[in-house]
Amino acid sequence: MPRNRRTFLTGAGAAGLAGLAGCVGGFGDGGGDSEARIGMVYATGGLGDNSFNDMAQQGLLDAEDEFDIAFDEREPETEGEFTSAQRDFAESGDYDLVSCIGFAQLDALEENADAYPDQDFIIIDEVLEVDNVRSYIFGEPEGSFQVGHLAGLLTDMEFAAAESETNPDANTVGFVGGVESPLIESFEAGFKAGVEYANEDAEVVTSYVGDFNDTAGGQEAALSMYQDQDADIVFHAAGRTGVGVLQAAQSEGRFAIGVDADQSLTEPDYADVILASMVKQVDTAVYSAVESVVNDAFEGGETERLGLEEEGVRAVYGDTIGDEIPDDVTGALDESRQAIIDGEIDVPQEL
């Protein structure tokens, strides 16, 4: 059975534990038992982003549906809070697994994984090669290539759906990033390569807002692209900042591409402008890790990569307007997906 097992408050469900966010110690005195107890430290931007963090929580909720688990959550507001959030979980000894969501937690985890060698951790979007950490990384460039391929094909066409339309005369698309970092730059690299693969004449304009939680900043960046640079489709990799991109697309009668989750479903107010989303199955990674703990099969010191072939990343067409995309475009994306898997297309991993 998992180590670090302590008694657990009988009947405490996930909803109640979630309410303890920011207050480690939910697994206190009392009877009862559960198959696994999970401590969750989210990326800055927190829950409610309808994207990265919410996908991570979905994995936890899916695991809760399947297994008898309990969990507690922390939502640090700054990167400086990561160390204490991880440490509080580990030091309590109450948690079979501490999940660290996002690349920015690496430095804090290096410190805590060494200080608490009997505590199992996972980290999403980074690699830490120590025995008590399992790392999960994704094929962001490949998935971004796919939505870049889509944007590059459509920007050159006269395409309209709902109240939006392309601007085939300009041949320009955009990319809005949250914090400039190697990971987010890998989204940009894949997107640019996909656009170029579809359309060598297309231009990609880029902006980094410097924050994953600045909706107004995301809107301002995208508005500049739509209004001043003639972009008609903008892809974001920006967390909650990306909601501003969706807002700008709607106000300008243009299109956007979501990220991490199918944002035509998680952001239904903007479903009429979302052509597709580059979905990243963070939920699958979290679920898999929890399942391994429940089955006493957790293996630290390993890195698991989820790419196109494993459906860890994929282009998902918008629920409202995706059906309007011409068949020859979706067919071309099917072909490029397979070509990437077969190694016939070499997708750059960085700028």
Q: For residue range 174-194, what is the model confidence (pLDDT) as tens digits?
A: 999 999 999 999 999 999 999
pLDDT higher than threshold 50 for residue 2:
no
Cβ atoms 51, 281 nearer than 8 A: no
How much is the pLDDT for 45? 83
How much is the pLDDT for 4? 37
CA distance 90 to 108: 12
Question: What value does the mean pLDDT take over residues 316-323?
Answer: 98
Question: What value does the mean pLDDT take over residues 203-216?
Answer: 96
pLDDT higher than threshold 50 for residue 282:
yes
Q: Is 319 exposed, middle or buried (0-12, 13-18, 19+ CB in 10 A)?
A: middle
Question: What value does the mean pLDDT take over residues 61-89?
Answer: 96
Q: Percent helix, strand and coil across the chain, each rounded to 5?
A: 40, 20, 40
pLDDT higher than threshold 50 for residue 13:
no
How much is the pLDDT for 16? 35
Q: Tell me the pLDDT band of 247, cut-offs 50, 70 and 90.
A: very high
CA distances from 322 to 257, 265, 345 (A): 11, 12, 25
CA distances from 228 to 55, 170, 205, 223 (A): 34, 11, 11, 8
Average the pLDDT over each of 7-11, 24-28, 322-326 and give the range with the smallest value.
Answer: 7-11
CA distance 261 to 271: 13
Domains of the chain: residue spans and CATH: 36-138+283-306 (3.40.50.2300), 140-280+321-342 (3.40.50.2300)
Q: Tell me the pLDDT band of 12, cut-offs 50, 70 and 90.
A: very low
pLDDT higher than threshold 60 for residue 10:
no
pLDDT higher than threshold 70 for residue 31:
no
pTM for the predicted model, two decimal places: 0.87
How much is the pLDDT for 34? 85
pLDDT higher than threshold 60 for residue 1:
no
Q: What is the pLDDT of residues 113-172, one digit of tens each?
A: 999 999 999 999 999 999 999 999 999 999 999 999 999 999 999 999 999 999 999 999
CA distance 189 to 193: 6
The DSSP bridge partners found for residue 234 are 174, 256
To the nearest whole percent, how much of the chain has pLDDT over 70?
A: 91
Q: Spell out the SS3 assignment of 146-194.
A: HHHHHHHHHCCCCCEECCEECCCCCCEEEEEECCCCHHHHHHHHHHHHH
Q: What is the pLDDT of residues 190-206, one digit of tens each?
A: 999 999 999 999 999 99
Q: Tell me the pLDDT band of 32, cut-offs 50, 70 and 90.
A: very low
Cβ atoms 179, 212 nearer than 8 A: yes
